[in-house]
Amino acid sequence: MLTEKQYNLLMFINKVNRETGQCPSFDEMKDAIGLKSKSGIHALITSLEERNFIRRLPHKARAMEVVRLPRFKPQAIIDEENKREQAIKNGSVQIPLYGKIAAGQPIEALADETETIAVPFNMVDKGQFYALKIEGNSMIEAGILNGDTAIIKKQNQADDGKIVVALVDNQEATLKVLKKNGEYVQLVPCNKNYKIKTLEANRVKIQGVLSGIIRKY
């Protein structure tokens, strides 16, 4: 039986091949299954090729075809689907609450897997999610207020203009609008009283994209 990542990569390659007639790029594969490096994709492709699920096509860069699909899903995926079906019935799902994040001056965001929060199921789609408590007022013009709970989808890439969790210098995390500018990125507040931060791109890591906000009155 395939591992969860092997299965997800195989199904992604098959889906893109059927829809576009082309093989996805390594970057697209990496983002689709949540890996941080292309080397992990190479290893998964090799394992799928050795087990005769895919075949590389000669004389074509990156080109490969799906030879066969597995008969069974990995147990981890079955368990996740069962959890989602139950969540639909219950109307909510539990996700980790990772402490506080600044919407003003950056502060360290601590991951605490022991604390969870219930969120409406329609706020989370396929993928991994976590929640952060907002501190500060730098995003008030985007409707994000001090004390809100931000629902974040885990991913390490984001489109220009998205509201992201940005980790600066591997130490401090902040919630800001991402603006890309060549070798630099800007972390843009949504409050005219706060300044835009311009940083070298290699100093900033994306840890997630804002999916929604929960507010208690």
- Catalytic amino acids? 138, 176
Q: CB count, 10 Å around CB of 1?
A: 10
- Whole-Å CA distances, 123 to 3, 27, 129, 153: 28, 26, 10, 10
CB 183, CB 200: distance < 8 Å: yes
Compute the distance between CA of residue 108 and CA of residue 151 in angstroms, rounded to an integer.
Answer: 17
Strand 92-102, strand 129-135: pairing: parallel
149: β partners: 133, 214
What's phi and psi for 24, nearest 5 deg? -65, 155
**C-alpha distance across the termini of the chain, in Å:** 49
The tokens for 28 are 């697209």
CB 103, CB 174: distance < 8 Å: yes
Q: CB count, 10 Å around CB of 213?
A: 17
Compute the distance between CA of residue 189 and CA of residue 176 in angstroms, rounded to an integer.
Answer: 6
